[in-house]
A and B are shown apart, each in its own frame.
Chain A
Amino acid sequence: MTLTTAQAPTPRAARVPGDPDRRTITGRVRHGVAALRHGFSGTPGRLRLLAVAGVLAGLLVGLAAGQAFRVSAHALEAADVNATQVIRVQEITTDLVRADAAATNAFLVGGLEPADQRQIYTDGLAQASEQLAQAARAQPADADALGALNRAITEYSGSVEQARANNRQGLPLGAAYLRVASSTLRTDALPVLDALVKANTGRVESELGAAQWALVWVIAGGLIALGVLIGISLWLARRTHRYLNLPIVLAAAITLVAFVLGGLVLFSAGQTAREVRDGPYAAALAASTARVDAFDAKANESLTLVARGSGSAFETAWQERAAQVEAQISSAALVDNVQTDSREEWDAYAAVHADIRKADDGGDWEGAVALATGERPAGTQATPPQTNANTTFADFDTASAAQLSEASKAATSRLTSPVNGLRFFGWLAVLAGLIAALAAWWGVAARLEEYR
Chain B
Amino acid sequence: MRRLRTATGPAAALALLSLALVACSGGAYEATPIPEPSTAAAPSTASAPTTTTTTTATCAGQSYLASYAPDAQATGPLLTKIKERGRLIAGVSADTLLFGARNPVNGKIEGFDIDRLRAISQAIFGDPDEIEFKVITTAQRIPALQNGSVDIVARTMSITCDRWTQVAFSGQYYEAGQKVLVQREIPQLQNRIQDLAGKKVCAPKGSTSLTKLADFPEVKAVPADTHTGCLVLFQQGQVDAITGDDTVLAGLVAQDPYAKVVGAAFSSEPYGLAMPLKEKGFVQFVNAVLEKEKSDGAWRASYDEWLASALGSAPTPPKAQFGRTR
Minimum CB distance partner of A64 in chain B: B21
Query: CB distance A173 to B232 under 8 Å?
Result: yes
CB proximity to B under 8 Å, residues A106-121: 109-111
Confirm or deny: B315 has a beta carbon within 8 angstroms of a beta carbon on chain A. no
Check B135–A309 contact: CB distance below 8 A: yes
Tally of contacts, chain A with chain B, CB under 8 A: 170
Q: In whole angstroms, what is the CA distance A316 to B45 when docked?
A: 12
Binds A, one of B52-60, B98-106, B211-219, B294-302: B98-106
Chain B nearest Cβ from A74, distance in angstroms: 6
Contact A141 B22 (CB under 8 A): no
Determine the distance from Cα of A264 to Cα of B192 in the docked complex, in whole angstroms.
Answer: 86
Q: List A contacts of B106 (CB < 8 A).
A: 110-111, 378-379
Asked whether A379 lies within 8 Å of B107 as measured between CB atoms, the reply is: yes
Residue of A nearest to B24 (CB): A67
Are A310 and B136 closer than 8 Å at their CB atoms?
A: yes
Bound-complex Cα distance A268 to B154 (A): 73
Q: In the complex, which residues of chain A have a beta carbon less than 8 angstroms from the beta carbon of B34? A: 144-145, 148, 192, 195
Cα–Cα distance between A109 and B136 once the two chains are bound (Å): 20
B97 partner, pick from A35, A59, A171, A316, beta carbons under 8 A: A171
Partner of B132, one of A39, A75, A177, A363: A363
Closest to A369 in B: B107
A46 within 8 A of B: no
Q: A111-B104, A141-B28, A143-B31 are in contact. Are A172 and B232 (CB under 8 A)?
A: no
Q: In the assembled complex, which residues on chain A have CB atoms less than 8 Å from the CB atom of B22? A: 63, 66-67, 70, 430
In the complex, chain B residues whose CB is within 8 Å of the CB of A70: 22
User: Known: A110-B104, A313-B44, A380-B107. Contact between A175 and B95, CB under 8 A?
Assistant: yes
Mask of A302-323 contacts with B, CB within 8 angstroms, 1/0 = 0100011110111011000000
B132 touches A195 (CB 8 A): no
Contacts of B18 in A (CB 8 A): 59, 63
**How far is it, in angstroms, between the C-alpha of A63 and the C-alpha of B22 when the chains are bound?**
8
Known: A172-B97, A191-B35. A110 touches B42 (CB 8 A): no
A39, A180, A194, A316: the one contacting B232 at CB < 8 Å is A180
Nearest CB of B to A298, in Å: 15
**How far, in whole Å, are A307 and B91 apart by their CA atoms in the complex?**
12
Q: Would A176 and B2 count as touching, CB distance under 8 A? A: no
Contact A110 B95 (CB under 8 A): no
Residues of B within 8 A of A183 (CB): 41-42
With A and B bound together, what is the CA distance between A56 and B15 in angstroms?
A: 10
**Which residues does chain A contribute within 8 Å of B229, judged by CB atoms?**
176, 179
Tell me the chain A residues, 25-81 only, with Cβ under 8 Å from chain B.
Answer: 35-36, 39-40, 48, 51-52, 55-56, 59, 63, 66-67, 70-71, 74-75, 78
Does A377 count as interface, using CB distance less than 8 angstroms? yes
Q: A140-153 CB contact bits vs B (8 Å, 1 = yes)?
A: 01111100100000
> Is B322 among interface residues, defined by CB-CB distance under 8 A?
no
For residue A257, CB closer than 8 A to chain B, the reply is no
Question: Which residues does chain B contribute within 8 Å of A316, judged by CB atoms?
Answer: 43
Q: What 10 pairs across the A-B complex have the smallest Cβ distances?
A: A309-B134, A313-B43, A110-B107, A378-B107, A172-B95, A176-B228, A141-B29, A379-B106, A199-B32, A363-B132
A–B pairs, 17, beta carbons within 8 Å: A59-B14, A111-B106, A144-B32, A145-B31, A172-B94, A172-B101, A175-B228, A176-B232, A183-B42, A187-B41, A194-B35, A310-B45, A363-B87, A378-B106, A379-B108, A430-B22, A445-B3
